[in-house]
Structure 1
Amino acid sequence: MRKKLLKTVRRYYNRVVNSIAFYPAVIALVFLILSYIVLTLDFSEFGKELKSQWDFLSLKDASTARTIAATIAAGILSLTVFSFSMVMILLNQAASNMSNRVLGSLIGNRFQQYVLGFYIGTIVYALFLLSTIRDIDSGIYVPALSVYLLIVLTVVDIFLFIYFIHYITQSVKFETIIARIHQETKRELENNSHLAEESMERVPVFTQGQELKAEASGYFQGFDRKELLRLCKEQDISVGFVFPVGTYVLEGVPFLKVSSLKPVTDEQQAQIRLLVDFYRGESISNTPYYGFKQLVEVALKALSPGVNDPGTAVLSLHALVDLLAFRLRNFAYRLIKDEDGVVRIVTVEDSFRDIFMQTLLPMWDYGQSDRVFRTEMKKVLDQLHVFHTAPEDHALIEDLRQKVKQKIQEEA
């Protein structure tokens, strides 16, 4: 029951953390705690003594403090509404002209979440402060320190708003969005790759392994690596996944095989299932190949007659080829070993051939009639062709390269 709860928490944790409202909510809570601490200081003996000794730190009129707090709350609320409107416009434009798949990276942008959170936090601070102001004759009982801190926060909000305008206008550019997807994908590829192909001598044999079938259709989104590795060592078993992360697995189809000297019990199967995730979503942090997919969809949307933007398609092509070049020179990790060096988990990763056929070939099928796209495709394939690769990969690149050259000659 505990592990099932942990799996549910892990699944919803990914959804919540990647939502646009997570960090603003956390920051607002921090500001609420801050307002309580500063107000406690304001009404403490130290705060009263400080305000009595330094006149500029005290407010004699409670109505003035109330007016300042109310005005700031209303003003920052307007900034928040305007900023949220700009974010929604950005998301709508990206979805219309690029692809719905890029919305995940835009929504997950931390800076805009921090800015919106700072706005909301200031509003929460001001409203909490407003509820504590009382009409008292002595100025030491007016929360002047809290009011002055609110003014400082408001000044910071104004400068944040100015920078936010600049930032959001840059973020709406297609090249910025493509560059962000490219950087995230490249970073995940680097984390999951190595220069030398790993020896397959000690890979467990799963031909006779017991199969675990999917209990419901869904997207395979990976597994809890630490816990699964610990479980495999404790039970002296090894597991091998059948599909790469991101695959849609139908109900009743085997998704994992277990290699064990003893029959795998129902309890062991249940424990393994709890550590494997199936849910919707295409976060690049789960697998870098989601980034490849997003760049392809951006290019295909740009090449569509409704958008007709070959320039954006070329930017996506350049980003994709750079990622393909990296993948061509590196190999994805497939073997996960315990501290004793025993292979416990074997994963499935898309080969260079699979990625090439799922990315460049669809783009060529859709964009071969565009002269700009054809020219850029030839340039990048000429460069990709010079890498020393496996014969089958080299032949794949050469085949498409000849098709592009032939099409250019026909249209000349």
Structure 2
Amino acid sequence: MKKYIYKIFNSLEKLESNIAFYPSIISLFGLLFAFLMIYLESIGISKYLVKHYPVLVVNNTETARNLLTTFIAGLISIMVFSFSLVMILLNQASSNFSPRVLPGLISNRRHQIILGTYNAALLYCIFTLVSITPNGDKYQMPGFSVLLSIVFMTLSLGAFIYFIHSISQEIQVNTIMDKIFIKSKLRLEKLVEAEKHIDAGFEDTSDWKNIMANSTGYMQDVSLKALADLAESHDLMIEVVPIKGAYILKGIPVIKYKGEASDHMEDNEDLESKLLDSITFSNSELIEDNYVLAFKQITEIAVKAMSPGINDPGTCINAIDYLTELFALRMTKKDHSYYFNDDEKALIHINTVSFEELLYNVMVALRTYCKHDVIVVQKLFVMFQYLLQQNNVLDENYKEVIIKEIVNLKKDALDNYNNDRDIELIKSYITKLQNINPSEYKF
């Protein structure tokens, strides 16, 4: 039962990120409200209001028809313009920054709600116009419903003004990077807080039983609670083989487990099926599920900014600032992740991207495409200086990893420059890094 609840919850989360989710829900409410008003008009709400509150009723048929027709045409124009702006935003973000940022922009809840408001108001106006009686009798005409359509049109205009303001902010690269940073920071902080700093002596898993993937896609998430329940109930030890966010091909091992096999083949197959069901595959990646994606996105934005067609070192420097803080936070997390039961016993080993691999993947891209700009190289040395000075590092080996990348950056930088002033600047930063702890770090 828990498995199905989790799958439903996960499916709803993926559906929520779809650009049509909230517009569809809000449009449905607009349609239902239109039918509700038609019912209220049929039982005489406008007739009652004409007697007691005539100011709340539009009781002229031609005026009502003209208003509703104008509103419908105006709302269609606003919707077309708004959707066009969204498409322009997505196209520009993909061209100038990175295609990976598109899921985050598409899932912007505010824009979805605004587009849904337009559609709900449009549907309401259409059905209200249809409900006007042809004889023009003032008691049969939905006068109060027409007044509400004026209110909804006013709200739509206000939403349109806010949409123009919001879309102009969303298209800025600093806003995009800031949102990526905030999401990844929250995810990392959650992982660090939940991580038990216990040395788990997990045994070698090379001879454990393998469960193969039965589909392809990105490994979006793992239900650790469901896996832990299975591990405890069947006395198992489990390893999740792929790294979260990796693209899984059908037929490769995704789970290894160790435990007593049942005498019945069907029971073993049922257990393996339950273990495999705890992994969710998807064709998209979200930062909320995988913080490593944020490093990829910010790095790609930095590299794209340094391309000859854009040539924007300022954006690249801002991206390095965000990466610096994320790397500092990552240094407070272990390379190996485990899931413990209440007795502090490690039941599940979760493979994660190591700090060394993460730093190398980021730096190899930056060194390759940004080494020609001495200002960007200077900023990278400042990043390394900040990381070496961190005092809350969980693993001292992280600093050795940083030193390796400093050596790589030094070599690429000195090989790339012929100007004496540039070479002198690079050597001065190497000296600063050496002076942090000269007895320990040798460059």
Q: TM-score, normalised by structure 1?
A: 0.90
Structure 2 CA distance for aligned equivalents of residues 138 and 355 of structure 1: 73
Structure 1 residues 195 and 132, CA gap change in structure 2 (3 angstroms): closer
Q: 1:209-260 CA distances to partner (integer Å, 9 max, x unpaired)?
A: 3211223443222223443333334333332101220122333322211122
Paired residue type of 1:152:
V
Structure 2 CA distance for aligned equivalents of residues 68 and 314 of structure 1: 53
Stretch deviating more after TM superposition (40-49 or 127-136): 40-49
Paired residue type of 1:397:
I
- 2:38 is matched with 39
Matched ranges for 1:168-317 at <5 A? 168-194=167-193, 198-201=197-200, 203=202, 206-263=205-262, 265-317=268-320
Structure 2 CA distance for aligned equivalents of residues 343 and 329 of structure 1: 20
Select 1:351's aligned residue among 342, 351, 354: 354
Secondary structure of 1:350 counterpart: coil
Q: CA deviation at 1:9?
A: 6.1
Contact 2:255 2:276 in 1 (8 A): no
Select 1:394's aligned residue among 399, 410, 419: 399
- 1:108 is matched with 107
Structure 1 residues 46 and 119, CA gap change in structure 2 (3 angstroms): closer
Contact 1:193 1:332 in 2 (8 A): no
Paired residue type of 2:36:
I
Q: CA deviation at 1:11?
A: 7.1
Structure 1 residues 229 and 27, CA gap change in structure 2 (3 angstroms): farther
Structure 2 CA distance for aligned equivalents of residues 267 and 84 of structure 1: 47
Secondary structure of 1:220 counterpart: strand
Structure 2 CA distance for aligned equivalents of residues 223 and 55 of structure 1: 60
Q: 1:291-315 CA distances to partner (integer Å, 9 max, x unpaired)?
A: 1111111112222223222222222
Q: CA deviation at 1:170?
A: 1.3
Secondary structure of 2:254 counterpart: strand
Q: 1:340-395 CA distances to partner (integer Å, 9 max, x unpaired)?
A: 65544331222221211121232122211112211211222221221134332212
Structure 2 CA distance for aligned equivalents of residues 121 and 333 of structure 1: 49
Paired residue type of 1:279:
S
Contact 1:382 1:401 in 2 (8 A): no
Matched ranges for 1:127-138 at <5 A? 127-138=126-137
Q: CA deviation at 1:15?
A: 4.3
Structure 1 CA distance for aligned equivalents of residues 149 and 231 of structure 2: 54
Paired residue type of 2:404:
D
Structure 1 CA distance for aligned equivalents of residues 403 and 226 of structure 2: 44
5+ residue gaps, structure 2, are 423-443
Paired residue type of 1:380:
M
Structure 2 CA distance for aligned equivalents of residues 163 and 11 of structure 1: 31
Structure 2 CA distance for aligned equivalents of residues 11 and 387 of structure 1: 37
Paired residue type of 1:107:
I
Q: 1:79-131 CA distances to partner (integer Å, 9 max, x unpaired)?
A: 11111111111111111111111111111111111111111111111112112
Matched ranges for 1:12-23 at <5 A? 13-23=12-22
Structure 1 residues 356 and 41, CA gap change in structure 2 (3 angstroms): same
Structure 1 residues 71 and 196, CA gap change in structure 2 (3 angstroms): closer
Matched ranges for 1:99-178 at <5 A? 99-178=98-177
Contact 1:58 1:139 in 2 (8 A): no
Matched ranges for 1:48-63 at <5 A? 48-63=47-62
Q: TM-score, normalised by structure 2?
A: 0.84
Find out whether 1:65 has 2:64 as its counterpart: yes
Structure 1 CA distance for aligned equivalents of residues 224 and 3 of structure 2: 16
Structure 2 CA distance for aligned equivalents of residues 290 and 396 of structure 1: 21
Paired residue type of 2:74:
G
Secondary structure of 1:133 counterpart: coil
Structure 1 CA distance for aligned equivalents of residues 159 and 407 of structure 2: 52
Structure 2 CA distance for aligned equivalents of residues 173 and 125 of structure 1: 35
Contact 1:94 1:172 in 2 (8 A): yes
Secondary structure of 2:139 counterpart: helix
Stretch deviating more after TM superposition (45-54 or 156-165): 45-54
Aligned CA RMSD, in angstroms, stands at: 2.8
Find out whether 1:366 has 2:366 as its counterpart: no
Secondary structure of 1:346 counterpart: strand
Structure 1 residues 132 and 343, CA gap change in structure 2 (3 angstroms): farther
Percentage of identical aligned residues: 29
Structure 2 CA distance for aligned equivalents of residues 195 and 50 of structure 1: 59
Contact 1:118 1:157 in 2 (8 A): yes
Structure 1 CA distance for aligned equivalents of residues 24 and 184 of structure 2: 28
Select 1:328's aligned residue among 307, 321, 331: 331
Structure 2 CA distance for aligned equivalents of residues 345 and 128 of structure 1: 56
Paired residue type of 2:378:
T
5+ residue gaps, structure 1, are none
Structure 1 residues 401 and 202, CA gap change in structure 2 (3 angstroms): closer
How many residue pairs match? The answer is 411
